[in-house]
Amino acid sequence: MTKSDGNLFAFFLRMLGSDRFNLEIRILRRNAGLTVVELMVCVVIIAFLVSYAFFLLSKRIEKAKYSNTATIARMINACALDFRSQTGNWPMDANNSIAPPELLPYLRINYFATDTPLGGKWDWNTKASPIQQNGISIRYASAAELNRHSLTELDRLIDDGNLATGNCLLLESSKKFYFQFCID
């Protein structure tokens, strides 16, 4: 259909009394595209929505890390309590990042082989260990690895929110830091 055919079609419509057709053509031509300002407003709105969604997602990921860490620590301590109820003894203190052999039959996954969700390594301690507490801990090799804000949030989730009191303690031994989930 050529341009003249389009004009011919418009002519026939006018002949039939359709003045509305010209108005519709003018409206369609006027709104055929977006102006630069309209496009920029759309881009700004989309950027705002994406940044807000990213902010919410990052907060949820952070909360999931706290929750996952707390769940694993509770589970390891529960396995140790179960072992103690059956044998009358606590599992032996193993080297850092190594699961006590007594706990392995109670754990479905060896969490000691991986880092914790908050960094650091899992470590089982007893009262005979340098930190003198029974329970699972997160061991940090240096203060640089330690994130006090994250540990305070984790303590708030599990205990009293104070790293110096309660059943969750931040302890130091031989320039290594331990976030200890104490059992007794």
What is the reported pTM?
0.73
**Least confident range of 11-20, 50-59, 162-171, 172-181:** 11-20
In 86-130 the beta strands, taken as DSSP E runs, fall at 121-125
Arithmetic mean of pLDDT over the chain: 85
Comparing C-alpha atoms, which of 126, 124, 89 is closest to residue 107?
124
Q: How far is CA 140 from CA 63, 118, 125, 171, 173, in A?
A: 21, 10, 14, 10, 11
66 versus 9: the higher-pLDDT residue is 66
The count of C-alpha atoms lying within 13 angstroms of the C-alpha of 78, restricted to the half-sphere facing its C-beta, is 8
Q: List helix spans (H) across the chain.
A: 3-15, 20-30, 36-87, 148-158
pLDDT at 32 over 70: no
Average pLDDT estimate for 151-165: 91
**11 band by pLDDT with thresholds 50, 70 and 90:** low
How do beta strands 168-173 and 135-140 pair? Answer: unpaired
pLDDT at 23 over 60: no
The CA distance from 23 to 12, in Å, is 15
Q: What is the pLDDT of residue 22?
A: 55
AA identity, residue 120: G
Q: Residue 178 is inside which H or E element, if any?
A: strand 176-182
